């Protein structure tokens, strides 16, 4: 992978934030398109850390806070193990799976917080769980509408703070803004719960803002949908919101398309196909890096 390209004027020191945007790889696509799978494979191939941006939504503010939560979770696991005889086997397995899932998430958040100590979470931006609960009666689009103002702020904060190259695994709806559908939701809320409108910062919502942020990154890859995508999402119960995401066509506006057809067979990953996709992404990024490097050398750009 061609990272940290040489410049003709070697005395010019590149801004680390500019370098990070130039050398990072951003993976976008609907839920279930293989972003997490491909990002992990890319990481193993080229040695860059993965930033699953979904994890940062409600990530605790410090590594110390995460350590405390991990300690509490481990204690819950130990206590559950000691009292196993009091539980039905299925109930025990369900509880243990739940705790282990939380612990796994906390461990990942700990690593992310070490890399991005100042990236704000949604609560720091003004997110309120009680408002989200009230909006649920207006449907999943209303929920996404409320989330969007915080997603856009998170994207901008990442673009402002990222000072190392990485692989960014975008949440399935983070780069989508269903502006026309939001207008309908606003009218419904105004009719029935006008006080809720004050919790929306409309200046931070809109697809144009997303395009501005994503346009700062040189390597944005859009994972195009597999042929069995609709059936897979319907089975997972996640097809409704994804249909709106796909219909918007916004994914294709933001990134270079790479097909993931054949990646998942049933519930298993086709490892050979995964490696082919990684090869394609790596080839694109290397070619893009050479083009950018040539531009800098020809124009002798100083920043």
Give per-residue pLDDT as tens, 192-234: 999 999 999 999 999 999 999 999 999 999 998 766 666 666 6
Q: Give the domain 16-56+127-299 fold.
A: Rossmann fold (3.40.50)
pLDDT at 5: 39
Say yes or no to pLDDT of 106 above 60: yes
Confidence of residue 2 (pLDDT cuts 50, 70, 90): very low
Lowest model confidence (mean pLDDT) among 20-24, 49-53, 87-91, 259-263: 259-263
Say yes or no to pLDDT of 264 above 50: yes
Strands (E), the chain: 25-28, 50-52, 167-169, 220-224, 256-259, 264-265, 268-269
Between CA 247 and CA 241 the distance in angstroms is 10
Average pLDDT on 240-252 reads 83
Average pLDDT on 17-40 reads 92
Query: So where are the chain's domains?
Result: 16-56+127-299, 60-118
């Amino acid at each position: 992978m061609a990272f940290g390209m040489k410049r003709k004027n070697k005395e010019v020191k590149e801004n680390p934030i500019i370098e990070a945007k130039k050398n990072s790889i951003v993976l976008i696509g609907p839920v279930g398109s293989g972003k997490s799978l491909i990002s992990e494979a890319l990481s193993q191939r080229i040695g860059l850390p993965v930033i699953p941006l979904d994890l940062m939504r409600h990530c605790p503010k410090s590594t110390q806070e995460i350590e405390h939560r991990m300690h509490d979770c481990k204690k819950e696991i130990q206590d559950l193990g000691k009292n196993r005889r009091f539980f039905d086997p299925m109930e025990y397995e369900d509880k243990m799976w739940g705790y282990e899932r939380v612990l796994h998430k906390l461990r990942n958040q700990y690593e992310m917080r070490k890399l991005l100590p100042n990236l704000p979470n949604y609560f720091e931006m003004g997110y309120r769980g009680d408002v989200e609960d009230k909006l649920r009666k207006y449907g999943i689009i209303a929920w996404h509408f409320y989330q969007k103002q915080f997603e856009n702020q998170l994207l901008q904060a990442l673009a402002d703070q990222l000072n190392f190259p990485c692989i960014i695994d975008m949440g399935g709806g983070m780069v989508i803004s269903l502006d026309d559908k939001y207008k309908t939701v606003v009218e419904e809320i105004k009719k029935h719960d006008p006080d809720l409108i004050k919790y929306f910062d409309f200046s931070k919502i809109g697809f144009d803002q997303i395009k501005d942020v994503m346009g700062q990154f040189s390597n944005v890859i859009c994972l195009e949908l597999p042929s069995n995508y609709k059936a897979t999402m319907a089975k997972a119960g996640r097809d409704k919101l994804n249909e709106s995401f796909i219909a918007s066509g916004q994914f294709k506006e933001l990134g270079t398309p790479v097909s993931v057809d054949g990646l998942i067979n049933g519930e298993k990953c086709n490892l050979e196909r995964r490696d082919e996709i990684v090869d394609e992404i790596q080839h694109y990024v290397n070619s893009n890096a050479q083009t950018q490097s040539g531009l800098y050398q020809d124009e002798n750009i100083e920043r």
